[in-house]
Structure 1
Amino acid sequence: MKQVVVIGGGIVGISCALSLLEDGHAVTVLDPGAVGEGASWASCGCIAAGEVVPLSQPGMLLKVPGWLLDPEAPLSLRPSSVLRLLPWFTQFTLNSTPFRMRAIADDLAKLTFRATDDLRAQLGRYEVRDMLVERPVLKMFDDDRDKATMGAAFDLAREMGCTIDEISGAEAHEMEPAIAPDFQHAAVLRDWSFVADPRRMVIDLHRAFVARGGVVKPVAGTGFTREDRRVTGVTCSDGGTVPADEVVLSAGTQSKTLARHLGIKLQLEGVIGYSTGLSDPGVDLKHTVFYAKGGFGITPYESELAIAGTIEFAGENAAPRWRRADVLVKRAHRVLPGLQVEGAQRRIGRRPFTPDTRPILGRSDKIANVTFATGHGQLGLTLGATTGRLVADMVAGRAPNMDLAAFGPDRF
């Protein structure tokens, strides 16, 4: 049995902690935030098993200059972050070639195509009931030009094995009568599903962890004690130190700073996403619906309708621009004309993005007993259970059932 410290208690961290606990280790999770109120809470809650095409798509890159000048665009960059982000954006742009996009998509497919089975098994093992909603996702397009922006991405996704059915806007309206009837095109993403409530999911997994003997400390990991190439403990924001035989770094956007303490440079940037929960939306929706042109999705959670999206590059401690959340709600009326917005609750999530869209999974040659499980971007909820299984294998010295070389922390 090893003493394992997991830094970060979001969906990825708690999934790692549960898998390690199952292996018989003594596991402590460090997380100062409110349980369940991390990045996943401000998301569309999708299990995006077909999200294999990297963010650095040529069509998207062509839009970036205009978006960066528009504070209400789906992707925005605060002026104070421009110089700091140049190296990240340089690598991001280099990953837009057809060769690199195909390689990234192939790597992501190896992870995401396992995601639904891994999540289903996790939820069953820990008796998290009525959580996985196995319905496909709809993506709406205004017209031919709008649809064409996704053509190359759809082709590559299909090449990787994804199932995408293209239907008319009228057919989508028949599936979901609340959707506006004048969309020309839609797509049904058959590999996707969503969860009933990402906040409840993380809370229930935390409860299962504690009930089985796991320990959660409401403190932040701030640094490490070391002997040569091994970490011996994690220093905490309360001044204490938690001894560790193994450490799992799953601290989201804080992972970059913590890795720097270990002499490891991660190309990782925190990106703000916004979400608004509507407790009485006035419309009935059964599927998650994405409006790509607007940069958001709409998901029918068990207790609210969530409108979530946008990508905003900002400083680590930057205050939210709540106007961005309000713009999403305004644009959601294009998709759902009957939407009511009383009782709105706004929230943000800070998502850790890498320039190649791959998460950071594995060990560094520079340190012997730290396993990285971070950088999932918009795939944290999707890959939580899968990441937990892989991390447990690595800590136990078992060979994971897939090659993780492309995801390693030393690739930067």
Structure 2
Amino acid sequence: MSRKYFGTDGVRGLVGKAPITPDFVMRLGWAAGKVLARQGTRKVLIGKDTRISGYMLESAMEAGLSAAGIQAVLLGPMPTPAVAYLTRAFRAEAGVVISASHNPYYDNGIKFFSQDGTKLPDEVELEIERQLDAPFECVESAKLGKATRIDDAPGRYIEYCKSAFPGELSLDGLKIVLDCAHGATYHIAPSVFRELGAEVVVIGGTPNGLNINDHVGSTHPEALMQRVCEEQADLGIAFDGDGDRVMMVDGAGQVIDGDEILFMIARDQLSRGKLAGGVVGTQMTNLAMELALQDLGIPFCRAKVGDRYVMEMLKELGWRLGGENSGHIICLDHATTGDGIVAALQVLQAVVRAGVSLLQLRAGLQLFPQTLVNVRFAGGVDPLADPAVQQAVEQAEQALAGRGRVLLRKSGTEPLIRVMVEGHEAALVNALAEKIAEQVRHCGAA
């Protein structure tokens, strides 16, 4: 059965336009409540990021769950991985996150976690979609769900994050710039790193409901790069709006993406005999990272793009470490989903143990030039099936002569066609990517 509302990361869209409207979110809460109630669910946690629309959608979700007879437990602004953790910690049967992750403030979304702190299985999401088509029926008044609030949720999650860093180590002596993207980590991350001993400078830490991800955060690292250099800091760490992604900046102001973060964590775990199996990446993982892992004797597998698919492959293989170049890093030894703070702490653990700078630690992996062009797609003709686009891809692959990769895919969260080309020569890679993107634009993209 094809999905009508759920994408790779829940339901997402423009606020005020279907499906991100108060009436739909109330029905979504009701439908999810009805489905979850059949599995014995009675309590669902609700967290959100700092978007102004979060107030409206939180109330709508609470009303829908109540109408289905489910108790709603409100957490307020909390990172996505915090909701996953607290769902388990409070023995709730499910968790809800109201967030559009790295998107601008005018977008929002809804995603669900199971009682295990993992994304809901596909079959449950499909059952919720089927329930949405049923007539809305409120339970009788005596069975309506109540709403409560957990006031100490931030403190609980701070302690959880700190537990992912070895007690015998300290960040004392490190000066770190944190970019919280004016998002859900703004009141969490600074405390975590300060309490572990670091001197912390914060940017992107004053959310106003409209500035989330606005030229800050993991998708806009320029502000962090500049501030690290101005402060002469040892390193910088940038999270996205809901805290499940992380990018880093070394002391020279150079960006370190998810592939490099994953490599550094894997190499450190291997050196300590802690790496279980191998590493899972995605179709977007840089080829240089795969080859570097190969040189260390670390097995590597690619999953489809999306952290849920990385998680599925990790479970299938019995491995513990995986992630995406976008900064979704899954460390199953510590978390059940991508967690930006936890991932950053694993890198810092390696820095402290090795007694070197982050700039020195990243040595040993030189990523191949990789160009990603996003082309907005309005529907109609499928560019991936268009003969002219396919021919452009074939020509690009011939030009790369086996020394690179070409990948075209549809975004799971936005109406975009993503064109990726990587190889040894930056100029050639850029030219080929733009040539394919132009062909995509010609066949129905807007």
Indicate the TM-score class for this superposition, using the shorter chain for normalisation.
under 0.3
Say which structure is richer in strand. 1
Larger Rg: 2
Calculate the TM-score normalised by the size of structure 2.
0.23
Structure with more relative contact order (C-alpha pairs < 8 Å, separation 6 or more): 1
